[in-house]
Amino acid sequence: MIVFRTLGTIGLRDNQGRDVRTVLAQPKRLALLAMLAMSPHARCHRDPLLGYFWPNHDPDRAHAALRQGLRFLRRELGKDVIFNVGNRGVWIDTRAMACDACEFERACDEDRLEDALDFYLGDLLPGLFVGDVSPEFDNWLEAERVRLHQRALTAAMGLVAWNRARGQAALAVQWSRRAMSLAPEDERILRTFLELLADEGDCVGAIRAYENFAAALKRELGIPPSALTQRLAATIRASAGIQRPTSEERWRSSGSPPALAEGPST
């Protein structure tokens, strides 16, 4: 089976496990393959493809370019992968080519959340740039990246909730870490992580995570965590008898020197 990797990395391997370098070296045809693979039921009407990839061509030239691109993909991938649906459609036989983005979505749909997150290794088609295409293609790609990322985050938080409800705190912490890696700026996820660590008795770890977050927020945006997050950290500190860090400790964690008190002028 041909394996098409699109999440977190871009890869395409044939039935013998060899890279299909000829396709990987052509961004537009690679993007065409991705759009075909990710269409509902791996079926796509030809007209949107013409508009996405050859917006400046007249209809005859655009159709000819699409036919040429499909012939190229069939030649490089084999004749049992891409088929025509009448005169207007194109479809991919998913028994001949597996796409990780499609497997990820199928696992999400079937509530196999751990399997889904095994597939999700990062953004869709990272670093892909396709020149001479319609802005609608760039919009499609960005929208798909956001949508798949949100599905991954929802899956991670679903696993947090499922394991937390069943008292499996260690697994809940594990999936909470994964959720934080997907949305490191989301304080709601941070607060869940802090609560889980505190419930596990790791208040020191919770406060360390809070301080790291606060330092990064100050360094990148120049703002403190929300009042709600600060109150949660204060509650965890108080319950464990942990003192607030000194100004020097805050300096070391944030990278900003402590303010010096002004002495009397001489």
Residue 195, token pair as written in the block: 């609560």
Exposure letters 228-249 (e unless 16+ CB within 10 A, then b): ebeebbeebbeeeebeeeeeee
Q: Which domains does the chain have, with CATH numbers?
A: 2-119 (1.10.10), 184-254 (no CATH)
Q: Is the dihedral of CA 122, 129, 96, 2 positive or negative?
A: negative
Helix%, strand%, coil% for the chain, nearest 5: 60, 10, 30
To the question of pTM greater than 0.75 for the whole model, the response is yes
Helix (H) or strand (E) holding 215: helix 203-221
Residue 217, token pair as written in the block: 């927020």
How far is 162 from 8, CA to CA, in rounded Å? 26
pLDDT tens for the chain, 266 residues long, are 999 999 999 999 999 999 999 999 999 999 999 999 999 988 899 999 999 999 999 999 999 999 999 999 999 999 899 998 877 899 999 999 999 999 999 999 999 999 999 999 999 999 999 999 999 999 999 999 999 999 999 999 999 999 999 999 999 999 999 999 999 999 999 999 999 999 999 999 999 999 999 999 999 999 999 999 999 999 999 988 877 664 434 544 445 444 433 333 33
pLDDT value for 192: 97
Contact in structure between 92 and 70 (CB atoms under 8 Å): no
- Backbone angles phi and psi of 230, in degrees to 5: -65, -40
